[in-house]
Amino acid sequence: APQRFEARLRDENEKLLTMDISNLPIMVNGEIVGVFGIARDISDQKHFERQPYCIQGIDLHVSASVGITLSDGHLEQPMQLIQQADMAMYKAKQQGRNNFQWYTSDLNQRVCEHARLRNDLQKAIETRSLQLHYQPQIDARTGRVVGIEALLRWEHPEKGFIPPAVFVPVAEDSGQ
């Protein structure tokens, strides 16, 4: 089967990425390259050209968000690599399409903190611990109240007040 894919790719200039778990070769444009070559090429932005792909006369604009992780080969749970690459990919998506991101332990720490905050926010919503405050909007020329602004505040039981700039994006990301 790999030979048929390789022949087809070379004949029709199709693009396909495949991965063989045993030794991790990756096929790109009909050439088998190592994972380090792919990581290097991605780092050099070679695979992020913004030219459309023409398929049956229709121009398709394709974007890619890529998460990259490396291993020394001594992981107790190989699934960790997939999880790390997944975290890095979502970070790449947050930075905008056609991006890549390397996995770092700092990224893992931020993802864990985000998850804890999301869970704490869900508890705050369920226990009605968020506070709504109203602030008048005043016209500076006349001194008259022209509106009222609703402000949501959250006093975390352990961390104290969490600013809206921190918890509102978490709520939006998680659909809360």
pLDDT in tens, 126-145: 999 999 999 999 999 999 99
Residues 71 and 142 occupy one common structural domain: no
Residues 60 and 143 occupy one common structural domain: no
pLDDT at 80 (0 to 100): 80
**Which domain, by its residues, includes 74?**
2-104
Taking 70 as the threshold, does the pLDDT of residue 25 lie above it?
A: no
pLDDT at 19 (0 to 100): 40
- Residue 19 CB contacts under 8 Å (≥ 6 apart), including other chains: 25, 26
Angle between helices 105-126 and 164-174 (to 10 degrees): 90
Residues 84 and 133 occupy one common structural domain: no
pLDDT at 133 (0 to 100): 93
Mean local confidence (pLDDT), 120-127: 93
> 52-73 pLDDT, tens per residue?
767 778 887 767 777 888 777 7
Residue 32 token pair = 């088998």
Residue 7 token pair = 């022949």
Of 75, 104, 133, the domain-final residue: 104
Residue 45 token pair = 């932005």
Of 104, 130, 151, the domain-final residue: 104
Residues 95 and 133 occupy one common structural domain: no
Q: Which residues of 86-122 are buried (b: 16+ CB within 10 A; e: fewer)?
A: ebbbebbeeeeebbbbbbeeebeeebeeeeebeebbe
- How many domains does the structure of the chain reveal? 2
Residue 43 to residue 37: CA distance in whole angstroms: 10
Beta bridge partners of 74: none
Residues 13 and 47 occupy one common structural domain: yes
Residues 93 and 128 occupy one common structural domain: no
Residues 74 and 94 occupy one common structural domain: yes
Of 78, 104, 130, the domain-final residue: 104
- Among 17-31, 87-101, 157-171, name the one with the lowest average pLDDT: 17-31
Task: Give burial (CB, 10 Å; 0-12/13-18/19+) of 64.
Answer: middle
Q: Which amino acid, 59?
A: D
Residue 12 to residue 4: CA distance in whole angstroms: 12
Residues 98 and 112 occupy one common structural domain: no
Place of tokens 């994972």: 35
- Among 22-36, 46-60, 121-135, 137-151, name the one with the lowest average pLDDT: 22-36
Identify whether the C-beta of residue 17 lies closer than 8 Å to the C-beta of residue 10.
Answer: no
Residue 128 to residue 99: CA distance in whole angstroms: 39
* Greater model confidence, 102 or 150: 150
Residues 99 and 115 occupy one common structural domain: no
Task: Give burial (CB, 10 Å; 0-12/13-18/19+) of 141.
Answer: exposed
Residues 96 and 39 occupy one common structural domain: yes
Residues 100 and 112 occupy one common structural domain: no
Residues 79 and 114 occupy one common structural domain: no
